[in-house]
Chains A and B, each alone.
Chain A
Amino acid sequence: MANPFTVRDQNTVSSRFVDAMRVNDESALRTLYENNFKKVETMILKNNGTSEQAKDIFQEAFIAVWKNVHNNKFSPGNEKAINGYLYTIAKNKWMDYLRSPAYKKRVSFHTVSETNPARSVVENDNLVTERETRLALAMKAFENLGEACRTLLVKFYFEKKTMKEIAEELQLDAASTRNKKYRCMQALRGLAQEMNT
């Protein structure tokens, strides 16, 4: 797929970008990442942060933008709008962290905390919804899933390939591929439920 950022026409940038985000087009996501990290890092380094913390905050902001595009909560008008949005979210997350008890405690005791600042804010403000907790557990479950299932599910849900494409790649017929998908999802479900209890 063509990189959406190289398109000159402003009208097509927006829809192309949104499409790229929806189908998780890797080169578009990478460009967005590389074009925006530096500015966020500079802001955080100037405000008592480290490069490692800049990475955490930036990635949480990136995920937030990605989710909002997926849920139609944010439809960027152009590339500038996305970059500005990403920066603003990162900045707010960092300011929240600086005001958070986790940061204040860290400063007063001079301890070096290895916690992810982006997440500790959320935890401390008690903003974590039950769904978010379950999502975090399900993501951990996914990391613990067997290699074959992980690869298969990535093809379906991240790469958004069709049943036909995946069946061809695996050299299986459609029925076996569907059954594999079902069994992998049940395995993931089982792992997630175990972690939840």
Chain B
Amino acid sequence: MKKQNQTQEEFERIERYLDGLMDREERAVFENSLKTDKELNLRVEEVSLLRLAVEEQTLRNKLDDFHAEMLLNRPAKTIRPYIKYAVAASVALLIGFAIWLLAGQKSTEEKLFAQYFKPAPGLVTPMSTASDYEFYRGMVDYKQGKYSEAINRWEPLVKEKPENDTLNFYLGLSWLAKGEAGKAIDFLSKAVTIQNSAFIDEAWYYLGMAQLKEGRPEEAVRSFGKSNLENSRVIAGEISGTK
């Protein structure tokens, strides 16, 4: 196809034709020019192809997302029964060892953090968020535990939309899941300032967790106090109890 410019008028006329939106008269005129104008035929074909490319590529990306999410929800059936017990036993050993390590070496704050921290579940990715393509892809990474990848996708987005509560919340969580409490505090303290956020209780809760991990228990108690989650009350109680 030649590298010629296409006017907006022609582009829109072609779309009207492809979508069957022409009235009978316009259609007759257009089909007449199609008969004689070979270049016009090619340009109609080109617009139709480009539209299909957008649609099909989007579907392909979605199929990958469906697949990733399906695997996440799928129980690991390939493990044979006896291996399962062996795995369970070694996991129990590991957990025991980890607790011993944490209990022996970490501060009270770190102990509490390790006891309670669990990354929030990701968002279900319905149609409305699917339009935010990069955000959606990042959410798939997040759900798979690929926090660095999620951060890489989301950081450019939050620069464009610094006031977005969802982005600030999940960026904070990703950093926290990576163990970078300082970075997590940056994003979560932003997230708690956003009015009418659906994540407000969770944001305060995780901000408290991040502050706890940073060894700032007084600030953590204050944050937990602003969250209506049951866990916030429990942890705030435990922190106060250890003091």
Seen from chain A, the residues whose Cβ lies within 8 Å of a Cβ on chain B are 24, 26-27, 29-30, 33-34, 37, 55, 59, 62-63, 66-67, 131, 134-135, 138-139, 141-143, 147, 150-151, 153-159, 169, 178-179, 182, 185-186, 188-190, 192-193, 196
Contacts of A190 in B (CB 8 A): 3
Query: Is there contact, CB below 8 Å, between A139 and B60?
Result: yes
Interface residue B49 (Cβ < 8 Å from any Cβ of A): yes
Which 3 residue pairs are nearest across A and B when measured between Cβ atoms?
A138-B53, A139-B57, A158-B58
Seen from chain B, the residues whose Cβ lies within 8 Å of a Cβ on chain A are 1, 3, 5-6, 8, 11-12, 46-47, 49-60, 62-64, 66-67, 70, 126-127, 130-134
23 CB contacts below 8 A, A to B, read A24-B58, A26-B127, A27-B126, A29-B62, A29-B66, A33-B66, A33-B70, A34-B66, A34-B70, A63-B56, A66-B59, A67-B56, A135-B52, A138-B52, A139-B60, A142-B53, A150-B133, A151-B132, A158-B58, A159-B127, A182-B11, A190-B3, A196-B1
Identify A188's interface contact among B50, B58, B59, B132, CB under 8 A: B50
Query: Is there contact, CB below 8 Å, between B60 and A142?
Result: no
- Interface centre among A24, A138, A156, A192, by most chain B C-beta atoms within 10 angstroms, is A138
Contacts of B53 in A (CB 8 A): 135, 138-139, 141-142, 188, 192
Q: How far apart are the CA atoms of A149 and B144 in the complex, in Å?
A: 28
Contacts of A134 in B (CB 8 A): 49
Query: Is there contact, CB below 8 Å, between A63 and B127?
Result: no
Identify B6's interface contact among A34, A141, A159, A189, CB under 8 A: A189
Query: Is there contact, CB below 8 Å, between B50 and A185?
Result: yes
Supplied contacts A33-B67, A37-B70, A141-B53, 17 more A-B pairs, CB within 8 Å = A24-B55, A26-B130, A33-B66, A59-B67, A67-B56, A131-B49, A135-B52, A138-B52, A139-B60, A142-B54, A147-B134, A155-B131, A158-B55, A185-B11, A185-B47, A186-B5, A188-B53
Query: Is there contact, CB below 8 Å, between B60 and A59?
Result: yes
Closest Cβ–Cβ distance, residue A161 to chain B (whole Å):
9
Query: Is there contact, CB below 8 Å, between A55 and B8?
Result: no
Contacts of B11 in A (CB 8 A): 182, 185-186
Contacts of A196 in B (CB 8 A): 1
Asked, given contacts A26-B126, A37-B67, A182-B12, whether A153 binds B6 with beta carbons under 8 Å apart, the answer is no
- Interface centre among A34, A63, A157, A169, by most chain B C-beta atoms within 10 angstroms, is A157
Contacts of B1 in A (CB 8 A): 193, 196
Contacts of B58 in A (CB 8 A): 24, 154, 157-158
**Beta-carbon nearest neighbor of B63 in chain A:** A59
Identify A157's interface contact among B51, B60, B66, CB under 8 A: B51
**Beta-carbon nearest neighbor of B134 in chain A:** A147
Query: Is there contact, CB below 8 Å, between A135 and B134?
Result: no
Q: How far apart are the CA atoms of A182 and B57 in the complex, in Å?
A: 19
Asked, given contacts A139-B60, A158-B59, whether A55 binds B67 with beta carbons under 8 Å apart, the answer is yes
Identify A154's interface contact among B6, B46, B47, B54, CB under 8 A: B54
Q: How far apart are the CA atoms of A24 and B11 in the complex, in Å?
A: 24
Q: How far apart are the CA atoms of A134 and B47 in the complex, in Å?
A: 12
Query: Is there contact, CB below 8 Å, between A188 and B133?
Result: no
Contacts of A135 in B (CB 8 A): 49, 52-53, 56
Identify A179's interface contact among B8, B52, B66, B126, CB under 8 A: B8
Contacts of A169 in B (CB 8 A): 131
Query: Is there contact, CB below 8 Å, between A192 and B50?
Result: yes
Q: How far apart are the CA atoms of A179 and B12 in the complex, in Å?
A: 10
Q: How far apart are the CA atoms of A173 and B127 in the complex, in Å?
A: 23
Closest Cβ–Cβ distance, residue A40 to chain B (whole Å):
12
Contacts of A33 in B (CB 8 A): 63, 66-67, 70
Q: How far apart are the CA atoms of A185 and B18 in the complex, in Å?
A: 15
